Structure 1
């Protein structure tokens, strides 16, 4: 279907307030003086629905069960990660403006603002997909989109061993660590499996324990019957309503957590968490995008280490230092 005809159908639907159903598309096509077969009408309806309420050209990539990340660097540069590194796809956009429109529409779906005054956004879509977008001129040439797909199912440690994420026998050590209620840190680079590993570990927590999660973007999906999930919130256009990760940690401590879990530790919230772990809150967990064990605890780069955290960074509140990579 040509772009002008697609735009004309979209305009007709917008003016009449009709839904992009097959019947609505047929009426719009008739208004344009076009007669199409059933297959063509259904194709137009699917394309319009993808453009209006879906992810546009990225829809089929996000629907692929093997895809974990979709990255748009330019209209003709769309990359995916299926677990084996980035691959350039054949998916393209009409132009840079089409990428910008999709980024702004996805941000609006997530309830966030994305425009020249606020040229970037980090949000979670209704299906759990993590969205990050940057508009020009901050992003040179074209808007950049990063979509991280969150799969609803949590993996078990045995499945991680079978996939090669954990070494054989590693699950026994991790299971014993969780059962002993040791506090631990999961660290690793982007895409190394921090969230997957942490979700699997939380699935080992006893069913009678209460897990409270505090995250920038709710990505953890532990298979556990008693999970409370807290998520940060940015300020609104008036600058009010900001909820930080440090705020969530302080609130979580008042919610009687048996296990306090903080995802993506990046700032001052680590001080509140470490203080809690050293004052009776056992079995806490936190994740960090990257940590250099040789630098943890240095006074010029981190807050003073609470009791139980060695200066070599190998022990955090009595627990081991884990990595998200094999």
Structure 2
């Protein structure tokens, strides 16, 4: 039956496209009659619903976006759509039948976010009206077909207690993370894509004193801490004419004029790292952000590379980094279970030549076991308020 409906949908689509008019069950029935197809009520409604899903919202992906716990919906060209509910990728019963269907869906989603995607601009990254982040790449750049990645923000966000219940934080990790927030230490949350950096940072911000004002700067609004005093600034891409772009670096400068008690950059991915480090060196304690890195040990090199794109020399980058940031919290995703969790807390140290490196303070195993590292004493000093040095 599903294959038959697919054939009818394509045929009706061609006929409706030839004559201007809105999509209605009556027009679908007329198109079926003109094609010599059966026009029973069940057939008309099945074709109408399939076409309606294809022109409204996220189309066939809508039911997946509404499933509890779904964080990602992934299209890898024609075939089954996959989702992630926190335990790795799952194949679903939703199937995109053709490359044309994938391409149409990508174009509609991107248009909903105010952008366009076509052969002249074959990829796009937009935020949909409901807050979902959509990234799409058209074939043949993407193989085996058009690729669509949807990242769904959790409504309301997690608290630190909820992350502990979910297994993202062990009891010891929960206590340490809470102390980091209370001690107003500046930190970066590092990790790979989809490891839960934003989730952990949002939960930590939710534990900030309600009397403090948090100003958040992001490329795409994803941080949703449960906190009474949050102001969010979101970057804006250029419009179809190539004008009107507002970049992260501009927003960081604006945020500094908004009396933040804590300045947060949702994801540092470009030259804005220089502005973040400068801001965190102006007395704004407790500043934070997220950063893509494979390990806590890789964070200094990552910061250095981003700073170089802004013209900041290596020595200056390391000096700014050392004085601005106290800690790195690295999150991981377990290969077997797919569970996202805090893997390590590291402190920053400078060697005799002035280069910054991270030293593990505590490392958390898959079962929550804590192992102290060479930076553990420094971590305790920072949490006790004995400052940097």
TM bucket, shorter chain: 0.7 to 0.9
Looking at secondary structure, tell me which structure has more helix per residue.
Answer: 2
Among residues 218, 222, 228, which one is paired with 1:225 in the alignment? 228
- Structure 1 pair 146–297 and aligned structure 2 pair: CA distance change class (3 A): closer
Q: List, as ranges, runs of 4+ consecutive aligned residues in structure 1 with deviation greater than 6 Å.
A: none
Does structure 1 residue 322 correspond to structure 2 residue 326?
A: no
What is the distance in 2 between the residues matched to 1:224 and 1:14?
52
TM-score, normalised to structure 2's length?
A: 0.74
CA 1:17–1:213 in structure 2 vs 1: closer, same or farther (change >3 Å)? farther
- Contact persistence 1:236–1:242 (CA under 8 A): yes
Contact 1:76 1:92 in 2 (8 A): yes
Matches within 5 A, 1:37-116: 37=41, 43-116=46-119
Corresponding residue for residue 358 of structure 2: none
Q: Secondary structure at the match of 1:324?
A: strand
Q: SS at the partner of 2:93?
A: coil
Residue 359 of structure 2 aligns with which residue? Answer: none
Alignment partner of 1:25 is 2:20: no
Please give the alpha-carbon distance, in whole angstroms, between the structure 2 residues aligned to 1:144 and 1:64.
21
Q: CA deviation at 1:80?
A: 1.7
Deviation string for 1:86-131 (max 9, x for gaps)? 2233332221111011101100011111011111001111111111
Q: Is contact 1:110-1:123 (8 Å) kept?
A: yes
- The number of equivalent residue pairs is 316
| Aligned equivalents of 1:47, 1:230: Cα separation in 2 | 38
SS of 1:92 mapped into structure 2 = strand
What pairs with 1:294-313 in structure 2 (closer than 5 Å)?
A: 294-297=297-300, 301=305, 303=314, 304-305=316-317, 309-310=321-322
Matches within 5 A, 1:171-182: 171-182=174-185
Q: Quickly say closer, same or farther: Cα 1:32–1:87, change in 2 above 3 A.
A: closer
Counterpart contact for 2:122–2:138, Cα < 8 Å: yes
Contact kept, 8 Å, 2:296 with 2:330, in 1: the verdict is no
Aligned 8 A contact 2:190 2:295 in 1: no
| Higher mean C-alpha deviation, range 281-290 or range 5-14 | 5-14
Query: Could you list the runs of 5+ residues in structure 1 that have no partner in the other structure?
Result: 311-315
Counterpart in 1 of 2:338? Answer: none
Structure number with bigger Rg: 2
Query: CA contact under 8 A between 2:8 and 2:47: conserved in structure 1?
Result: no
